[in-house]
Structure 1
Amino acid sequence: MMSLTLGSLFDGIGVFPLAASRHGIIPVWASEIEKVPISITKRHFPDMLHLGDITKLKGSEIPPVHIITFGSPCQNLSTIGFREGLAGSKSGLFYHAIRIIKEMRCATNGIFPVIAVWENVAGAFSSNHRLDFKFVLESFTDSEIPMPDSGRWAKCGMVRGSVADVCWRLLDAQYWGEPSLVQRRKRVFVVADFGGQRAAEILLKSRQLYPLPDTGTESGLSSARAGGISAAETGREIPVLCPFEERRMRSCAKSGDIPGFLRSFGRSDDPFPTLLAGAVNIFSFWYEGKEKDGVIRYLTPLECERLMGLPDNWTKYDYLGKQTSANARCTALGNAIALPCAEYIMAGIKEVLEG
């Protein structure tokens, strides 16, 4: 049987290729323009082609693959930004991915790709008066998609058009993986099946995932929070971590909203706020019973990797073995996709395409 293959547009640090490779799917090529993410990905996938700027690619000329993934830029869709939507210069690059998919399908008589996967922020549901998500679905299906009667898009759903079966679902990273992550990261995933009616099976079916990669021996947060075991039971000190809602904290401080400011102080069982490319999360740390000795500090790049479900030091070195700066690592991780969510989808694709 021919091995399944994958191409990754807006590749970042290679999370989709990593998820695919963990299920025997071969990453063939990637498109990315940022130097640091490209160098990190080259280190882990030395045999993968790097095609560069998506605006200069032609789907008819690049190697055809079974699966195309793309997490197109979210700046214009995010509730943090100016909300220009798909008309914005960054998020509008979505249309280049659709163009490449159509060009490849035309050049291969509709054989490749079989599956396309799009990932983006939850704000994609509401940007441009909720019309942007309608355009996304129409781009995949090549059909007119009506707005829901409620005027709002559900957190999961499916549509069928003339060329594709499409399913979408909002996944929050804190509920995925084994053990589960402790980062709140809501992302929309859209799966388009051009070869059948299997999109819902890929995106809605329950399935067992592989354990998260080992987290090594370096000090720092583990990829999952430990259960409620007391220091007396373990014979050692138990760390207590309280993540802060830093954006809310700053906003409430500026507006004088005291109740909101107090709510921004997290509890020890709260998930970490979503990692962002432009900011590093802070948290308070102390050992059980020693609150007065606690400190407030930033997450390290290693801890950010673990919150994304990635192997330790995934971003630490470039392909020449040179260390990547902490700032560049955190920026790349803030733009990345949580591995367990990507892996769940890759497991479903492999299952339906190989039977």
Structure 2
Amino acid sequence: MKTDQLTLGSLFDGIGGFPYAASFYGIMPLWASEIVPECVSVTKKHFPDMEHFGDITKLHGGKLPPVDIITFGSPCQDLSVASGKRLGLAGERSGLFLEAVRIIREMQEATNGEYPKFALWENVPGALSSSSRRDFKAVLEAFTDAEVPMPGSGRWANAGMVRGRGVDLAWCVYDAQYFGTAQRRRRIFLIADFRGERSGEILFVPKSLSGYFAA
């Protein structure tokens, strides 16, 4: 591995979507956390050198190999508008989001804030409205470790930025149909830059898309 090569750890890895995308840009996936054996077998086929650490609730971020980037698409069932009860982050499944934040904090403490440099979170747009829109406020505050006020409109925009305690954060809802896939699939993507002001530069596309602003 090159000394200047970015490294990645993938939580809630599934079949390795984030490591696969990262590999196109020279980012080295080092490890993953996933509990479904069939999914792990797919990732192992494509990335035989990745370590697999299993259940996220049994991991300690300070004991994992430090990485530049931690990616995670935490369970969306309790956030989705298709869910019956919509328990949000209070739900057993979507509440696992907090386990990922815990691991990030533990790694930061163990490395004196050097790792990870970035976190990338993906989820359903329902996260913007669940629990009377308090869930997304909790997400922003979990990343920034700072109080984030509710928007004056009472609704979270499909794209935005906040900063707090040295963390630069940006989010945007993108639709897969505008990125070369034959399906409509809207998802929130959130970038937290723990050491700079580059989240918007990383996340926002530099041209207009249907339904989105120009950067």
- Fold agreement, TM-score > 0.5: yes
**1:158-169 matched pairs, under 5 angstroms:** 158-169=161-172
5+ residue gaps in structure 1? 208-355
Q: Percent identical across equivalent pairs?
A: 62
**1:1-355 matched pairs, under 5 angstroms:** 1-81=3-83, 82-176=85-179, 180-206=180-206
Aligned length: 204
Contact 1:142–1:163, Cα closer than 8 Å, also in 2: no
User: Whole-Å Cα distance in 1 between the matches of residues 144 and 25 of structure 2?
Assistant: 27
User: Whole-Å Cα distance in 1 between the matches of residues 163 and 69 of structure 2?
Assistant: 19
Bigger Rg, which one = 1
User: Whole-Å Cα distance in 2 between the matches of residues 163 and 94 of structure 1?
Assistant: 21
The residue type paired with residue 198 of structure 1 is R
The residue type paired with residue 18 of structure 1 is Y
User: Whole-Å Cα distance in 2 between the matches of residues 32 and 90 of structure 1?
Assistant: 14
Contact 1:166–1:193, Cα closer than 8 Å, also in 2: yes
The residue type paired with residue 168 of structure 1 is W
Displacement of 1:150 in angstroms is 0.3
Question: Could you list the per-position Cα deviations for residues 297-342 of structure 1 after superposition, in whole angstroms to 9, with x for gaps in the alignment?
Answer: xxxxxxxxxxxxxxxxxxxxxxxxxxxxxxxxxxxxxxxxxxxxxx
CA-atom RMSD, angstroms?
Answer: 0.9
The residue type paired with residue 25 of structure 1 is I
TM normalised by structure 1 equals 0.57
Contact 2:108–2:116, Cα closer than 8 Å, also in 1: yes
User: Whole-Å Cα distance in 2 between the matches of residues 24 and 206 of structure 1?
Assistant: 21
Contact 2:166–2:196, Cα closer than 8 Å, also in 1: no
5+ residue gaps in structure 2? 208-215
Q: Secondary structure at the match of 2:101?
A: helix
- Say which structure is richer in strand: 2
User: Whole-Å Cα distance in 1 between the matches of residues 159 and 8 of structure 2?
Assistant: 25
Q: Secondary structure at the match of 1:166?
A: strand
Structure number with higher relative contact order (C-alpha < 8 Å, ≥ 6 residues apart): 1
Q: Secondary structure at the match of 1:137?
A: helix
